[in-house]
Amino acid sequence: MPMIKENLKGEIFIISPSSFEFMEQLLRCPSCKGNSVTLKPFLCKKCNTKYSSNNGIIQFVQDQNTHTWDHYWKRIPVYDNIMDILRTIMNVQLKRYLKKHVQAGELTLEPGGGSAYVSAMLKEEGIDAYAMDYASVPLQIAQQQLKSKATLVQGDLFNIPFTDNIFDVTFNNSTMEHFPNPLDGLKEMARVTKPGKYVFVGVPFTYGPLSVYKLKKSSFKGAWDGTTYSRQGLKKLLTDAGLEIIDSRTFFFRCFIGVLGRKLER
- What residue ranges bind ligand SAM (CB under 6 A)? 69, 87, 91, 111-115, 117, 133-135, 138, 156-158, 173-175
29 binds Zn ion (CB under 5 A): yes
Q: Tell me which stretch binds Zn ion (CB under 5 A): 21-29, 160-168, 209-217, 238-246.
A: 21-29
Report whether 24 contacts 37 (CB < 8 A).
yes
Residue choice 15, 16, 40, 47 for contact with Zn ion (CB under 5 A): 47
46 binds Zn ion (CB under 5 A): yes
Alpha carbon 176 to its chain centroid, in Å, reads 10
Measured distance CA(78)–CA(186) in Å, rounded: 34
Q: Side chain identity at 202, as an amino acid letter?
A: G
Report whether 120 contacts 146 (CB < 8 A).
yes
Name the strand (E) or helix (H) holding 259: strand 256-263
| Shortest spacing between CB 211 and ligand SAM, in angstroms | 17
Q: What, of ligand SAM, Zn ion, none, does residue 200 touch, CB below 5 to 8 Å by kind?
A: none
Q: What, of ligand SAM, Zn ion, none, does residue 3 touch, CB below 5 to 8 Å by kind?
A: none
214 binds Zn ion (CB under 5 A): no
Measured distance CA(15)–CA(22) in Å, rounded: 12
By CB neighbour count within 10 A (0-12 exposed, 13-18 middle, 19+ buried), where does 234 fall?
buried
Q: Between residues 46 and 236, which has the closer beta carbon with respect to Zn ion?
A: 46
32 binds Zn ion (CB under 5 A): yes
Q: What is the DSSP letter of 178?
A: G
Q: Between residues 31 and 248, which has the closer beta carbon with respect to Zn ion?
A: 31
Report whether 228 contacts 176 (CB < 8 A).
no
Q: What, of ligand SAM, Zn ion, none, does residue 204 touch, CB below 5 to 8 Å by kind?
A: none
Q: Side chain identity at 78, as an amino acid letter?
A: V
| Shortest spacing between CB 49 and ligand SAM, in angstroms | 18
37 has which bridge partners? 44
Q: Tell me which stretch binds Zn ion (CB under 5 A): 46-54, 129-137, 146-154, 162-170.
A: 46-54
| Shortest spacing between CB 98 and ligand SAM, in angstroms | 13
Q: Tell me which stretch binds Zn ion (CB under 5 A): 25-33, 66-74, 103-111, 135-143.
A: 25-33
3-state secondary structure of 153: strand
Residue choice 12, 44, 102, 260 for contact with Zn ion (CB under 5 A): 44
The three-state (H, E, C) secondary structure of 222-248, written as one string: HHHCCCCECHHHHHHHHHHCCEEEEEE
| Shortest spacing between CB 37 and Zn ion, in angstroms | 7
Q: Between residues 48 and 81, which has the closer beta carbon with respect to Zn ion?
A: 48
| Shortest spacing between CB 154 and Zn ion, in angstroms | 17
| Shortest spacing between CB 217 and ligand SAM, in angstroms | 20
Looking from the CA of 59 toward its CB, the CA atoms found within 13 Å total 20
Residues 6+ positions from 42 with CB-CB distance below 8 Å? 11, 12, 50, 51, 52, 53, 58
The site for Zn ion (CB under 5 A) is made up of 29, 31-32, 34, 44, 46-47, 49
